[in-house]
Amino acid sequence: MKCGVVVFPGSNCDHDCYHILKHILGLSTEWIWHKDDADLDRFDAVVLPGGFSFGDYLRPGAISRFSPVMKAVTRYANKGGHILGICNGFQILLEAGLLPGALLTNRSQKFICKPVATVVETTETPFTRSCKKNAVLKLPIAHKQGNYFADTETLQRMADNGQVLLRYADAAGQVTEAANPNGSVGNIAAVANERKNVMGMMPHPERAADPLWPNVDGQAIFQSLIESIAS
């Protein structure tokens, strides 16, 4: 299995994703420079990592979505390629229209870096298939604009279609207001497109995947991808 990690100017979790994919999961992994719009067909999965691409200036993802690589990413998505956007990568996929909704500033107006609990809502996606339904994954968040928004109609369509993958929850997996770190509508932490080949998530699975730390819940996301591609 071969993975690509896209590097935008200002990406800063690119090395972390690369490290987990290559050194922890043992996958063949390559960098993809944002100015490169060559086809991505050689990859089984492409990751858009976290960070502050283009400084998050104007709006996170607003400028990055015009990088040449996004043409290739869009073609790849349309062909059914697996794309995982984490944090800033999620923001870019939203701006590019590859995922529904938008991200607003956190309710607290502050950047928040801390571990939170999320509950797996559906396992019928390539990104969650090796999770148990309603399993609780403890994953770190680190963002200032992670307050997910979509209008009621879109939310309904996403719910009907199983496009909500993770919601913020308490340690027992209950989706409560108190467990919502940033004000996201319906505690939404991760979503997929209709076809389920593109996923965006605010929590950082790559920060909970190296066994050097006690928590490796984030491996579930990568393991799911590996299984889906193998099958």
Partner 1 sequence: MLAKIHVTFKNGVLDPQGKAVHHALNDLGFNEVRDVTLGKYLEIKLEGVSAEEAEHRVSDMCEKLLANTVIESYRYTLDPTD
Partner 2 sequence: MSAPNEPEITPQVVADHGLTAGEYERIQELLGRAPNFTELGIFSVMWSEHCSYKSSRPHLKTLPIEGPRVIEGPGENAGVVDIGDGLAAVFKIESHNHPSFVEPHQGAATGVGGIMRDVFTMGARPIALLNSLRFGEPADARTRFLLNGVVEGIASYGNCTGVPTVGGEVYFDPCYNGNILVNAFCLGLVKTDKVFRARAGGVGNAVIYVGSKTGRDGIHGASLLASAEFDERTEEKRPTVQVGDPFTEKLLIEACLELMKKDWVIGVQDMGAAGLTSSSFEMAGREGTGIEMDLSKVPLRETGMTPYEILLSESQERMLFVVEKGHEEDAIEIFRKWDLDAAFIGHVTASPSVRILFEGREVVNLPVLPVVDGCLGLERPARRPVWLDHVKELDLAAVDEPAQGGAALKALLGSLNIASREWVYEQYDHMVRLNTLIMPGSDAAVLRVPDTNKALAIAVDCNSRYCQLDPYLGAQIAVSECARNIACSGGEPIGLTNCLNFGNPERPEIMWQFEQAVRGIGDACRFFDIPVVSGNVSLYNETKGEAIFPTPTVALVGLLEDRDWQTSQWFKNSGDEIGLLGETFPELGGSEYLSVLHKETRGSPPALDLNREKRLQALVRELIHGRHILSAHDCSEGGLAVALAESCISHPETPLGAEIGLFSPLRKDALLFGESQSRVVISYPREARDTIAARAGERKTPFTPLGSVGGEALAIAVNGEEYIREDVRTLNDLWRGSLGDYVRQTS
- Angstrom distance (rounded) from CA 16 to CA 32: 15
- Angstrom distance (rounded) from CA 101 to CA 153: 11
Reading the block at residue 93, the tokens are 């996929």
CB 111 within 8 A of CB 146: no
The answer to whether residue 217 forms part of the interface with partner 2 (CB under 8 A) is: no
The answer to whether residue 203 forms part of the interface with partner 2 (CB under 8 A) is: no
Reading the block at residue 217, the tokens are 């819940």
Nearer to partner 1, 26 or 55 (CB): 55
| Among candidate residues 210, 7, 214, the one with its CA nearest the CA of residue 222 | 210
The answer to whether residue 123 forms part of the interface with partner 2 (CB under 8 A) is: no
Task: Give the three-state DSSP class for 206.
Answer: helix
Tell me whether residue 177 is one of the annotated catalytic residues: no
Q: Among 3, 13, 17, 87, which one carries the catalytic annotation?
A: 87
Stretch binding partner 2 (CB under 8 A), from 64-72, 104-112, 128-136, 187-195? 104-112
What's the start-to-end Cα distance of the chain, in Å? 12
The answer to whether residue 183 forms part of the interface with partner 1 (CB under 8 A) is: yes
Nearer to partner 1, 50 or 101 (CB): 101
Residue count of the chain, please give it. 231
Reading the block at residue 140, the tokens are 């770190």
The answer to whether residue 195 forms part of the interface with partner 2 (CB under 8 A) is: no
The single residue among 207, 218, 219, 222 that binds partner 2, judged by CB under 8 A, is: 207
Gyration radius (Cα) of the chain, Å = 16
- Angstrom distance (rounded) from CA 196 to CA 201: 13
Tell me whether residue 87 is one of the annotated catalytic residues: yes
Tell me whether residue 113 is one of the annotated catalytic residues: no
The answer to whether residue 223 forms part of the interface with partner 1 (CB under 8 A) is: no
User: Interface with partner 1 by CB under 8 A: which residues?
Assistant: 54-55, 57-59, 62-63, 66, 94-95, 101-102, 104-107, 109, 147, 149-151, 183
User: Interface with partner 2 by CB under 8 A: which residues?
Assistant: 9-10, 12-13, 15-16, 19, 50-52, 54-57, 110-115, 140, 142, 144, 204, 206-207, 210, 212-213
